[in-house]
Chain A
Amino acid sequence: MPLHLRSIAELRRGLRAREFSSVELTRTFLDRIADLDSRFNAFITVPREGALASAREADGRLAAGTAGALEGIPLAHKDIFCTRGVRTSCGSRMLDSFVAPYDATVVERLAGAGAVMLGKTNMDEFAMGSSNETSYYGPVRNPWDTEAVPGGSSGGSAAAVAARLAPAATGTDTGGSIRQPAALCGVSGIKPTYGAVSRYGMIAFASSLDQAGPMAPSAEDLAWLLASMQGFDERDSTSLERAVPDYPALLGQDVAGLRIGLPREYFGEGLDAGVARAVEEAVRVYERLGARIIDIELPNSNLAVPTYYVVAPAEASSNLARFDGVRYGYRCESPRDLMDMYRRSRGEGFGPEVKRRIMIGTYVLSSGYYDAYYLKAQKLRRLISADFARAFKEVDVIIGPTTPETAFRLGAKQDPLSMYLSDVYTIAVNLAGLPGMSIPCGFAGRSPVGLQLIGDYFTEARLLALAHRYQLETDWHLRMPEGCA
């Protein structure tokens, strides 16, 4: 089998058996990026020489018998993760020339496990978007249909994995930014429990929601990646002090007897019929495997998107206040005075969607409005979270569609609100801080459909095993876009 079609487990075996070297493997993917990415625009920066140098070091460790869990395996990082010595743009003009002076913990851990960084993937500016169209570097195109969006904000990572320009990639998910692009590009992705993976060095959007996770063709691949990414980090004040499960070893957990909840609210008005069919078929697969299917209610689901669009912009307006044109990032030409420098540097450095969200956040936090907006939203967040807590007394896992529709046309959602509703099924999971994932479960027409699996806190191992079991029964995750096989 060609190297670019092998799973992480197969690549591990091949590297350890000296069937091929990390340099060969890395070069294979660098060449694929060079040959194919002009179609997709999935990468912002590809430090080819640095990748080959890391691969040579990995080959040294493989030869010396000191290989880490992911030794020699190439990966792509979303351009939201700081990478020492490599431009970290966050998809923004503001950071177009920003070369990070340190590595994010996620980057450091994956490098520590021996992974080789291929490059930095395109994304919606500051992770604000669901289509990758807000990137300063231009939109990413969906490998299944280059006239369609890949989803966002981790659209570059999703497209890179879908086109096998990388065996796997990192992403971040504040309201669906791993799961939604995974669904639209036909790949697998997991957003772990809030606090499981360190946020240190991951450029902040909404700190009480942001969480990093891996994206790859299969749940088995995700298990390998997550095992290396996760873990306590004293440099992140919300990092959890918990042992990291051995995810690859736990993939064999049985599905029989597991109680699966189907939230009525996720199958109602607004759900595309083709998406509904694919998801219902996936439910029948689990039923055949011995799972019990139970109808449940998440009655406050309709409040998730409005609540999110208070909480997330409020936190973003505070986090993005650091971009002042003084210490790093963009500064305007010839400022008249300090205020002019702040306002023009930010006005010119940020794109329209980022400015819109900063203004929403500034407004809802401004004097006299706090109780009506932010406090109200925090109370609703409690209700939304309580819905899940009640549901998890009756069921072990919740499944449903990841998105209401498949990949839409570039430019189709000009109105911000219609774009925001792309995340209608994913946002509540972030508000509650729960783990959630998306795996491919078929097609509606030619477009991939994502199945969302939502677990209780710290049940990533069960989610991955459940997804893996499905992927042993089906081959949706192995389907390839035309011209990429």
Chain B
Amino acid sequence: MSLEKIDVERIAQLARLEIAPADMAAYAQSLSDILAFVASMNEVGTDDVEPMAHPLDVAQRLREDVVTETNRREEFQAIAPRVEAGLYLVPRVIE
């Protein structure tokens, strides 16, 4: 699998990453190398193998649907880049 610069731009867009134009070719190369490397996975047939999502095949725990967290909004907002009147500020989304 060989990626071109245009593929890297598409992936970077999906991943919400700004990649400097000067770095595009290097990323295209290293990503292509890694994908070629992981393609060795295809040397083994796995038609009847059940996928393993979790190391220990255990079920997720359930708990009562009750509030367990206390409200710590001020503490959490104190570490935010920009807040105003208890709200997180971001650039205008709707014109």
Known: A208-B55, A382-B51. A317 touches B15 (CB 8 A): yes
Contact A359 B51 (CB under 8 A): no
The binding surface of chain A is classed by DSSP as helix
Known: A326-B80, A378-B51. A234 touches B63 (CB 8 A): yes
Rounded to whole Å, the gap between the CB of B48 and the closest CB of chain A is 9
Residue A385 lies at the interface, judged by CB distance under 8 Å to chain B = yes
Interface hit among A269-277, A290-298, A342-350, A464-472: A342-350
Known: A195-B56, A383-B44. A328 touches B92 (CB 8 A): no
A-contact bits for B14-47, CB 8 A (1 contact / 0 none): 1111111001000100110111011111101010
Residue A167 lies at the interface, judged by CB distance under 8 Å to chain B = no
Rounded to whole Å, the gap between the CB of B72 and the closest CB of chain A is 7
Contact A337 B91 (CB under 8 A): yes
Rounded to whole Å, the gap between the CB of B47 and the closest CB of chain A is 9
The binding surface of chain B is classed by DSSP as loop
Contact A417 B81 (CB under 8 A): no
Cross-interface CB contact of B16 among A305, A307, A343, A377, cutoff 8 Å: A343
Q: Please, how many angstroms separate the alpha-carbon atoms of A330 and B37 in the complex?
A: 33
A-contact bits for B47-83, CB 8 A (1 contact / 0 none): 0011111111010110100000000100110111110
B-contact bits for A296-331, CB 8 A (1 contact / 0 none): 000010110111011000000100010011111111
Contact B30 A416 (CB under 8 A): yes
Contact B18 A348 (CB under 8 A): yes
Contact A309 B38 (CB under 8 A): yes
Q: For A98, A195, A360, which residue has the most chain B Cβ atoms within 10 angstroms?
A: A360
Considering only CB atoms, which chain B residue lies closest to A342 in the complex? B16
Chain B residues whose CB sits within 8 angstroms of the CB of A415 once the complex forms: 30, 33
Cross-interface CB contact of B82 among A208, A331, A457, cutoff 8 Å: A331
Known: A383-B49, A457-B56. A306 touches B41 (CB 8 A): yes
Contact A363 B35 (CB under 8 A): yes
Known: A327-B88, A343-B16, A362-B11. A385 touches B52 (CB 8 A): yes
Chain B residues whose CB sits within 8 angstroms of the CB of A347 once the complex forms: 17-20
Chain B residues whose CB sits within 8 angstroms of the CB of A363 once the complex forms: 3, 11, 31, 35
Contact B38 A379 (CB under 8 A): no
Chain A residues whose CB sits within 8 angstroms of the CB of B38 once the complex forms: 306-307, 309-310, 373, 377
Contact B56 A381 (CB under 8 A): no
Residue A253 lies at the interface, judged by CB distance under 8 Å to chain B = no
Residue B85 lies at the interface, judged by CB distance under 8 Å to chain A = no
Contact A346 B30 (CB under 8 A): no
Chain B residues whose CB sits within 8 angstroms of the CB of A208 once the complex forms: 53-55
Mark out the residues of chain A between 426 and 442 whose CB falls within 8 Å of any chain B CB in the assembled complex. 431-434
Chain A residues whose CB sits within 8 angstroms of the CB of B63 once the complex forms: 234
Chain B residues whose CB sits within 8 angstroms of the CB of A355 once the complex forms: 17, 19, 27
Rounded to whole Å, the gap between the CB of B52 and the closest CB of chain A is 4
Contact A359 B15 (CB under 8 A): yes
Cross-interface CB contact of A359 among B11, B52, B81, cutoff 8 Å: B11
Question: Which size class do A's interface residues fall under?
Answer: 35 or more
Chain B residues whose CB sits within 8 angstroms of the CB of A339 once the complex forms: 16
Rounded to whole Å, the gap between the CB of B2 and the closest CB of chain A is 13
Contact B49 A379 (CB under 8 A): yes
Contact A346 B17 (CB under 8 A): yes
Residue B6 lies at the interface, judged by CB distance under 8 Å to chain A = no
Q: Please, how many angstroms separate the alpha-carbon atoms of A344 and B82 in the complex?
A: 16
Chain A residues whose CB sits within 8 angstroms of the CB of B49 once the complex forms: 379-380, 382-383
Known: A307-B41, A359-B8, A359-B11. A385 touches B55 (CB 8 A): yes
Considering only CB atoms, which chain A residue lies closest to B55 in the complex? A433
Contact A237 B61 (CB under 8 A): yes
Q: Please, how many angstroms separate the alpha-carbon atoms of A303 and B60 in the complex?
A: 28
Rounded to whole Å, the gap between the CB of A90 and the closest CB of chain B is 14
Chain A residues whose CB sits within 8 angstroms of the CB of B50 once the complex forms: 379, 382
Chain B residues whose CB sits within 8 angstroms of the CB of A209 once the complex forms: 55
User: 13 A-B contacts, Cβ less than 8 Å apart?
Assistant: A208-B54, A306-B40, A306-B41, A309-B37, A325-B81, A338-B91, A338-B93, A347-B18, A379-B49, A383-B44, A385-B52, A417-B34, A417-B37
A residues with a Cβ closer than 8 A to B are 98-99, 101, 193-195, 208-209, 234, 237-238, 240, 300, 302-303, 305-307, 309-310, 317, 321, 324-331, 335-344, 346-348, 350, 352, 355-356, 358-363, 366, 373, 375-383, 385, 415-417, 420, 431-434, 457
